[in-house]
């Protein structure tokens, strides 16, 4: 059975917190330094909407920007990029290619060999610690 866009939207609203809904489904941004953080240790950051694995703790770093920052997504991560000209700026938006959730933006001012900083809204992610 095919759901209408309104039905799918109602499902997202029921499943997500109001802030997670605003960020992932309406491309809002959580306030900098507002996310409570994640459990320490190795693991995988997944999409809060669909559970797709996106980033590993090995690529996470402290950028001082106020949002979780990663140098690269997982090799097989369903991460899509799109041009974002909103708010009078030209940026590259990062979305989950599985469910089209807005995650954040990617910038070319990061550390490491790729020089990228994936600046991701914490509320758009869940964290699954490695077992063991």
Q: Which residues are annotated as catalytic?
A: 119
Q: Is 34 contained in some domain? A: no
Can you give the pLDDT at residue 112?
76
**Structure pTM?**
0.92
- Do the beta carbons of residue 38 and residue 45 sit within 8 Å? yes
pLDDT for 2 beyond 90: no
pLDDT for 26 beyond 80: yes
Can you give the pLDDT at residue 52?
98
CATH code for position 72: 2.170.150.20
For residue 67, give the nearest of 20, 6, 124 by alpha carbon.
Answer: 124
Can you give the pLDDT at residue 1?
65
Coil vs helix vs strand at 47: strand
- Do the beta carbons of residue 60 and residue 69 sit within 8 Å? yes
pLDDT for 132 beyond 70: no
pLDDT for 80 beyond 90: yes
C-alpha separations of 90 from 45, 56, 85, 105, 132 in Å: 26, 27, 5, 11, 43
Split into its structural domains, the chain has a count of 1
Place of tokens 């009078």: 88
DSSP state of 98: T
Place of tokens 């999409």: 47
Residue-range definition of the domain harbouring residue 70: 5-29+42-129
Mean of the pLDDT values across residues 66-76?
96
Place of tokens 């909407």: 49
Q: Is 36 contained in some domain? A: no
Gap between the Cα atoms of 118 and 132, Å rounded = 28
Residues 36-51 pLDDT 10s: 888 889 999 999 999 9
């Amino acid at each position: 059975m095919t759901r209408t866009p309104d039905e799918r939207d109602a499902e997202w609203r029921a499943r997500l917190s109001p802030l997670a809904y605003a960020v992932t489904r309406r491309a809002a941004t959580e306030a900098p330094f507002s996310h409570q953080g994640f459990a320490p240790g190795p693991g995988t950051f997944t999409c809060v909407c669909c559970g797709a694995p996106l980033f590993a703790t090995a690529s996470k770093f402290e950028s001082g920007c106020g949002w979780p920052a990663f140098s690269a997504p997982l090799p097989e991560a369903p991460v899509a990029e799109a041009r974002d000209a909103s708010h009078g700026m030209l940026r590259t938006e990062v979305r989950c290619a599985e469910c089209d959730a807005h995650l954040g933006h990617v910038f070319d001012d990061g550390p490491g060999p790729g020089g990228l900083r994936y600046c991701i809204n914490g509320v758009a992610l869940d964290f699954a610690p490695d077992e063991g």
